[in-house]
Amino acid sequence: MAFIKNRKIQDSIFLANDLVKNIHSKTRGNINVLKADLRKAFDSVHRPYIYDLMKKMGFPLKFINWIKVCLEASKFSILFNGSPMGFFKSSNGIRQGDPLSPYLFVIAMEGLSVLMKDKRDSGHIRVPGSNGVYISHIIFADDLIIFMKDDLDTIRAIADIIQIFGSFSGLQLNCDKSKVYIGAKSSYKRAIPSILKVHESSLPVKYLGLPLFSKALKVVYCQHLVEKVRKRISNWRSNLLSKAGRLELIRSILFSYSIYWSSAFTLPQLTIHDIEAQLSNFFWSGSGEDKSFHMISWKTICKPKDEGGLGIRRIGDWHKACVLAQLWDILQKRKSLWVDWVYASYLAKTSIWVKIRRSYDSWTWKHILDCRDILRQHIRYTVGDGSGFSFLYDPWLHNGKSIYELVGDRVRLVMGIPHDTRLLHYIHAGHWILPTPTSTEMLTIWPIIHNTPIALIRDSIYWKHNNGVWNVRNAWEATREAGPKVGWYQMAWNSPTIHKYS
C-alpha cells in the first residue's frame, strides 16, 4: 500500500509488470487481472467501518476517538449565487486533502487484504505464487489490481469478496471504469467478464501513471511522456525568459517528468532522443519545435559544470543509474514485497550473478540482469557470518571473483553440495573450515579462500565510492562518461553576482 514506510511506488509497478508478463502467451498465459476502480473512494468509505477496524487492529480507544472528532466535527457550506448558505455535517467518507485521510484509507483497504488472505489460506482462491510468496492483489492508495489464476471457483470467490467488502466498507466497484484482462490461455473468456460484472480490455493500460504491458516497452507506449513535455513547453511564454531561466525550467520541471519513468523502466532510445531534442530546442530558441542554430551540442550542455557543461543530466545516464538502484535493492535484500518476489520466483536456489536471461522474463527483470556487470565494478563483498552469500556463485573472494567463475561447477560436483549452499557451512568462530581437497579445482581455489578475510559482522555488500554511501546520484556519478575538469569553472560559477533568469 501507499503511505507505508520504506514502500516505494515503483515496487507496485515492478510487481504488476512482472505478473502480467506472460498474459498474452498461449502456453503460459493462465492468469487473469482485474484493474478495479472504486467508486468515489474517499467520499464513500463508511466511518463506523474505519473505527471498528482500528479497534480490531489494536489502536487505543482514545486515539480512535480523536480520529472520530477530526472526521465528524467538520462542517460544510454551499455557495448559492456567490453567498454561503448555512452549515451542515457530513456523515460519510474521509476528506480528500486532509493529512489524515491517506492513512485512514490505507486502514480501510486493509479489510480487503484480510479477506483476500483468508480466502487464499483456506484454498478458496488460487493466485500467482512461488516458493511461499503469493500475490493476490496490489494496492497503492485507491489503485487496486487483483490477480487470479484461470479457475472459475477463484473468479466467483473474487467477485464475492469484492461484494462483501463493498457492503461493509462502502467502497463499491465502479463496473463501468473497472476492466478485466484475460490470459491468452484462459478457458473461460466469455464467463469471466459476466461473473465480475466488468468489461474485458487489453494491455497496455496506464497504472500509477505508467504503462502496464506484457512485452517490450515500445515507443508508442511512451508517447504520453513525449507529449507531456511538448505540451508543457508550449504553455510557457518562454520568449520572455533568458537562457538561464530556461535552463532552470529544464532542470527543475521538464527533467523530473522522465525521472519518474526512468525509475521504473528503461526508455527506448528513440523516446530519449525525442525528449532531449525538445529540451535542446527549448533551451536555444524557447520553443520545443523551433530548430534554430545550436551553438553547443546537447551532450556538452549535459556535462557537470566543472567539466564545462551546465549541470543537466543526460536522460540515458540517469536511467542506467535507476536500474542499478533496482539491482542494489535486490542485493541488499531491502524489505519489500517486490524484493521478496524476486528471490522467490527468480533467485530461490541461485545467485543473481549467474541467473540466465530468458525470453519470457519481464522487461524490468531483463534490464536488471543486463546491468549486472556495470554494478559489479563498483561494489565489494565483505564476508561475515556467511549466511548471506552463495558459496559457489557470489563474488565474495578477495580478488572479486566467485568460485564458479574460477573453476566452474566441478567443485560442487566433487563436494556433492547443492546449488544453494551458503558460505556459513565453511565458517566457524571467524575461521575457514574447509574439507580436504580431493580435486585439482579444490587445490586451486582453497588458498584463495584462505586468503579472503572474515569480518566479525554479517555478510555485507559495500559501494566502493563516496565513503560507501549509496544513492542514485552517486551511482550516476560513478557510471557516467566523465570528462576532464575545466580550469575556468571556479571563475564562471562561483561569481558573487546573481544569475539572470528573466
Determine phi and psi for 13, rounding to 5 degrees: -65, -45
Residue 55 and residue 184 share a domain? yes
Residue 177 and residue 141 share a domain? yes
pLDDT recorded at residue 427: 95
Q: Which of 288, 314, 340 is the last residue of a domain?
A: 314
Distance CA 423, CA 432 (A): 10
Residue 223 and residue 185 share a domain? no
Domain-embedded: residue 112: yes
Distance CA 69, CA 322 (A): 43
Residue 245 and residue 130 share a domain? no
Per-residue exposure over 35-49, b if at least 16 CB sit within 10 Å of its own CB, e if not: bbbbbebbebbbbeb
Residue 242 and residue 126 share a domain? no
Q: What is the DSSP letter of 452?
A: S
Q: What is the dihedral of CA 238, 241, 246, 249, to 10 degrees?
A: -80
Domain-embedded: residue 127: yes
The 3-state DSSP class for residue 339 equals: helix
pLDDT recorded at residue 497: 61
pLDDT recorded at residue 4: 64
pLDDT recorded at residue 87: 77
Contacts of 31 (CB under 8 A, 6+ apart): 19, 20, 22, 23, 128, 147, 148, 149, 150, 183
With beta carbons less than 8 A apart as the criterion, state whether 212 and 224 touch: no
Residue 125 and residue 24 share a domain? yes
Which domain does 259 fall in, by range? Answer: 219-314
Distance CA 3, CA 271 (A): 31
Contacts of 184 (CB under 8 A, 6+ apart): 23, 24, 25, 26, 29
Distance CA 423, CA 387 (A): 6
Domain-embedded: residue 480: no
Residue 209 and residue 254 share a domain? no
Residue 167 and residue 103 share a domain? yes
Residue 285 and residue 170 share a domain? no
pLDDT recorded at residue 95: 82
pLDDT recorded at residue 236: 79
Residue 270 and residue 307 share a domain? yes
> By C-alpha distance, which of 368, 379, 361 is closest to 330?
368
- The amino acid occupying position 426 is Y
Domain-embedded: residue 472: no
Domain-embedded: residue 172: yes
* Grid coordinates belonging to 405: 567463475
Neighbour-count burial of 491, counting CB atoms closer than 10 A to its CB (0-12 exposed, 13-18 middle, 19+ buried): exposed
pLDDT recorded at residue 234: 85
> By C-alpha distance, which of 368, 359, 303, 355 is closest to 329?
368
Domain-embedded: residue 385: no
Domain-embedded: residue 435: no
pLDDT recorded at residue 140: 87
DSSP codes joined into one string, 62-98: HHHHHHHHHHHS-EEEEEETTEEEEEEE--S---TT-
Distance CA 209, CA 176 (A): 20
pLDDT recorded at residue 500: 61
Residue 133 and residue 25 share a domain? yes
The 3-state DSSP class for residue 109 equals: helix
19 C-beta neighbours (distance < 10 Å), count:
22
> By C-alpha distance, which of 201, 211, 209 is closest to 181?
201
pLDDT tens-digit profile, the chain (502 residues): 455 666 788 999 999 999 999 999 888 889 999 999 999 888 899 999 999 999 999 999 999 999 999 888 877 778 878 787 777 777 788 887 888 888 999 999 999 999 999 999 999 999 999 999 999 999 988 889 999 999 999 999 999 999 999 999 999 999 999 999 999 999 999 999 999 999 999 999 999 989 999 888 899 999 999 999 999 888 876 567 788 888 888 988 888 888 889 888 888 999 999 999 999 988 888 776 666 778 889 999 999 999 999 989 999 999 999 999 999 999 999 999 999 999 999 998 899 999 999 988 998 999 999 999 999 999 999 999 999 999 999 999 999 999 999 999 989 999 999 999 999 999 999 999 999 999 999 999 999 999 999 998 999 999 999 999 999 999 999 999 988 998 888 887 876 666 665 4
Is beta strand 460-463 parallel, antiparallel or unpaired with respect to 133-134? unpaired
DSSP codes joined into one string, 375-437: HHTTEEEE-SSSSSSBTTTS--STTS--HHHHHTTHHHHHHT--TT-BGGGGEETTEE--PPP
Biggest alpha carbon–alpha carbon distance for the chain: 94
- Split into its structural domains, the chain has a count of 2
pLDDT recorded at residue 501: 53
> By C-alpha distance, which of 197, 174, 265 is closest to 225?
265
Domain-embedded: residue 430: no
Residue 305 and residue 164 share a domain? no
Distance CA 23, CA 200 (A): 14
Determine phi and psi for 291, rounding to 5 degrees: -95, 65
14 C-beta neighbours (distance < 10 Å), count:
25
Q: Which of 215, 245, 266 is the last residue of a domain?
A: 215
Q: Which of 267, 284, 314 is the last residue of a domain?
A: 314
